[in-house]
Amino acid sequence: MPKMVLMQGDEAAALGAIRAGCRFYAGYPITPASEIAEVMSRELPKVGGVFIQMEDEIASAAAIIGASLAGVKSMTATSGPGFSLMQEAIGYAVMTETPTVFVNVMRGGPSTGLPTKPSQGDIMQARWGTHGDHAIIALYPSSVQEIYKYIITAFNLAEKYRTPVVFLMDETLGHMRENFIMPSEREVFIYNRLREEQIKEEEVFLPYETEEYAEPTPQPLVEMGKARFHVSGLIHDEAGFPMANPDIADRLVRRLVEKIRLHADEISIYDEYMTEDAEVLIIAYGITARSAMRAVKIARNDRIKVGLFRPITIWPVPRTRLKELLSRVNSVIIAEMNLGQYAHEVLSLTKNDVRVKLVNKVNGELITPQEILDAVTELQSGIVGYY
Amino acid sequence: MVLNMPVTLRFAGIGGQGNILMGIVLAKSLIKEGKWVVQSQSYTAQVRGGPSHCDVLYSNEWIDYPKAESFDVLFALHPTAIPRHYMLLKKNGVFFIDTSMMNVETFSCMEPENIPTGFPIEICRITRKILGYPFTKAAIENFKTGVVANMIGLGALVKVTGVVTLDTLKETIAETVRKKYVDMNLKAVDFGYGVFQKEYKLKQKKKKHPIGFE
């Protein structure tokens, strides 16, 4: 039996990233993500990686994109205010299709807000923070064990789909310490880059070329070396050279969105708890999902048929499964520590005759199981009308 | 389905007293004994002197909701923590108080002269299991430094509540604390273990008085 240890959320994120192959970290300390930088600065040099504290978050984000293009997996970690600064660079990573991982340990906002209190206010920023049409992958685990597991997934998805991946956490999750079991070699899958020798020397490497199938899959990025190519944030052709051709522009932007949208089912990860016969469905993610889980247990004790759906990939939304569940239940509760950012997305999937109740909180405290239970009671007694 | 509520402990004080370290050491010891633990903390931007507290929850199964609304054990390392946290103590919970900065040595609800000035007397209605001891003073007198006050406190906590065994606690401290200070910390724990003679069991089942229906 593997040994259990006490592990902090931020620590797990850093160690998981190193396990996934991250060898470059650039960041700027910010509560509550400072511990990630702290662990990285200590652990990365031991495995031959590079840790650098940049002058700000803008430079950090730019540095990890550069590092990734130069051939190593890279990551940065920040919180709300820093994440705002990184948005421009995220757009650049989307356009240049550079695999990177941006950890955002969410704290109360807007602006400097509540530095030592949790929030889930950056859900929409993770999706639409940067400008222009794009698709993004965002993951949000809800326990220390999961942080380790899914940050590896985040790196894998970034490499596979060649896109920046936003890894969301919150202050409670980041600072909390919990039981942790180090996964064995067999339990961890790591997606590696193409190595130099895997490409033929005489062949031209076109980094932005995709085969014209129904589902475009980007080709993996090559480690630095023989395969030299051009990188530009402007609309570019398959070789990476800027082109203002309308056809090329159309094809590129569509491809950037489609490569994730068409693979949404493949990418999406979710968890369910007692949804088989549920009449009331609670949708919650991250740390709130744990309150919801307790609420489900208490409600089931009182023979109320409540189930929990927990999206782990916040973006893309696990649409197919969610739609299926929403068609079966008669009421939905969406619990989140913001004023209904994800509810907006969920409600676009519901039929009109589903009763909806939102549980929102923005005071820097967790949503308690009691608050979710109150919503269940309200729905059961039929006091609430249609949304 | 049986709903298991975790046992909850809170260490409250001011920043710099080591109440978060107390929680971490206790959480590590609990894991060694095969428990599921959640340890969380709260502190302000002030590094020293600001209000801070640390919660430890443990259970025999995975803990879903990581926060607690009331506590089985409350440990106030500083008098300012008492009015902030006493109302969160469960009925008949155990309350440890560091009386170093108060004008009394021992503590008793029954003797009005032993109740310090400004002490919220409502606590006596919540619990009678109040254990006062000048931890910081004892640390300064016996170890010439106030830093080990938290370890004396842990020793006392383990003796009274028995959440972990003394051996597990010592083993954890030897692993967690820097080598130079291990000896002093272990001595402090031993010292704390001898402070109180009382032993209280946590998690006593509530007596139910069913009326009809059962």
The pLDDT tens digits for A272-319 are 999 999 999 999 999 999 999 999 999 998 889 999 999 999 999 999
pLDDT value at A163 more than 80: yes
Residue A278 per-residue DSSP state: -
DSSP states along A208-232: T----SSS--PPPPBPSSS------
CB environment B58-69: b (16+ within 10 A), e (fewer)? bbeeebbbbbbe
Query: What's the predicted TM-score (pTM) here?
Result: 0.92
What's the mean pLDDT in B26-43?
A: 92
B128: confidence class by pLDDT, cuts 50, 70, 90: confident
Q: Please give the share of chain A, as a percent, with pLDDT higher than 70.
A: 91
What's the mean pLDDT in A191-219?
A: 66
SS3 at position A336? strand
Shortest alpha-carbon distance between residue B5 and chain A (Å): 10
Residue A141: per-residue pLDDT: 96
Q: Please give the share of chain B, as a percent, with pLDDT higher than 90.
A: 48
Residue A213: per-residue pLDDT: 52
Q: Does A85 touch chain B (CB under 8 A)?
A: no
User: Residue B24: which of A177, A287, A294 has the nearest Cβ?
Assistant: A177
A215: confidence class by pLDDT, cuts 50, 70, 90: low
CA distance B5 to B28: 20
Residue A224: per-residue pLDDT: 54
Q: Does B24 touch chain A (CB under 8 A)?
A: yes
CA distance A132 to A93: 13
Residue A229: per-residue pLDDT: 79
Taking phi over 0 as left and psi of -120 to 50 as alpha, with beta for the rest, A21 belongs to left
Taking phi over 0 as left and psi of -120 to 50 as alpha, with beta for the rest, B66 belongs to alpha
Across the interface, whether the CB atoms of A116 and B42 are under 8 A apart is answered: yes
Q: Does B104 touch chain A (CB under 8 A)?
A: no
Q: Does B64 touch chain A (CB under 8 A)?
A: yes
Residue A259 per-residue DSSP state: H
CA distance B160 to A315: 50
Q: Are A131 and A277 in contact (CB under 8 A)?
A: no
Q: Per the CATH hierarchy, to which homologous superfamily does domain B7-113+120-193 belong? A: Pyruvate-ferredoxin oxidoreductase, PFOR, domain III (3.40.920.10)
B124: confidence class by pLDDT, cuts 50, 70, 90: confident
Q: Does A142 touch chain B (CB under 8 A)?
A: no
Residue A218: per-residue pLDDT: 63
pLDDT digits (tens, 9 = 90+) for A164-190: 999 999 999 999 999 999 999 888 999
Q: Does B59 touch chain A (CB under 8 A)?
A: no
Q: How many CA atoms lie within 13 A of A197 on its CB side?
A: 0
Residue B115: per-residue pLDDT: 77
Residue type, position A112, single letter = T
Across the interface, whether the CB atoms of B64 and A297 are under 8 A apart is answered: yes
Taking contacts as CB-CB distances below 8 angstroms, the residues of chain B near A177 are 24, 27, 37-40
Query: Rounded mean pLDDT of chain B?
Result: 87
Taking contacts as CB-CB distances below 8 angstroms, the residues of chain B near A296 are none
Q: Which two tokens stand for residue A124?
A: 């929409």
Q: Does B66 touch chain A (CB under 8 A)?
A: yes
pLDDT digits (tens, 9 = 90+) for A2-34: 789 999 999 999 999 999 999 999 999 998 899
What's the mean pLDDT in B139-147?
A: 91
Residue A387: per-residue pLDDT: 44
Which segment of A81-85, A223-227, A266-270, A347-351 scores lowest on mean pLDDT? Answer: A223-227
| Full set of structural domains in chain A with CATH | 1-267 (3.40.50.970), 271-381 (3.40.50.920)
Across the interface, whether the CB atoms of A369 and B41 are under 8 A apart is answered: no
pLDDT digits (tens, 9 = 90+) for B45-95: 666 778 889 999 999 999 999 999 899 999 999 888 888 899 999 988 999
A386: confidence class by pLDDT, cuts 50, 70, 90: very low
Name which residue leads in pLDDT, B126 or A45: A45
Residue B188: per-residue pLDDT: 93
Q: Please give the share of chain A, as a percent, with pLDDT higher than 90.
A: 67
Query: Rounded mean pLDDT of chain A?
Result: 89
B-proximal residues of A, 317-336, CB under 8 Å: none
Partners of A271 in beta bridges? A310
Q: Does B4 touch chain A (CB under 8 A)?
A: no
pLDDT value at A200 more than 70: no
pLDDT digits (tens, 9 = 90+) for A322-374: 999 999 898 999 999 999 999 989 999 887 788 899 999 999 899 999 999 99
pLDDT digits (tens, 9 = 90+) for B151-196: 999 999 999 999 999 999 999 999 988 889 999 999 999 999 998 8
Across the interface, whether the CB atoms of B64 and A294 are under 8 A apart is answered: yes
CA distance B113 to A177: 42
Please tell me which of A109-113, A141-145, B176-180 the model is most confident about, judged by mean pLDDT. A141-145
Residue A216: per-residue pLDDT: 55
What's the mean pLDDT in A65-83?
A: 92
Name which residue leads in pLDDT, A50 or A216: A50
Torsion of CA B151, B93, B202, B161, to 10 degrees: 20
Taking contacts as CB-CB distances below 8 angstroms, the residues of chain A near B65 are 290-291, 293-294, 368-369
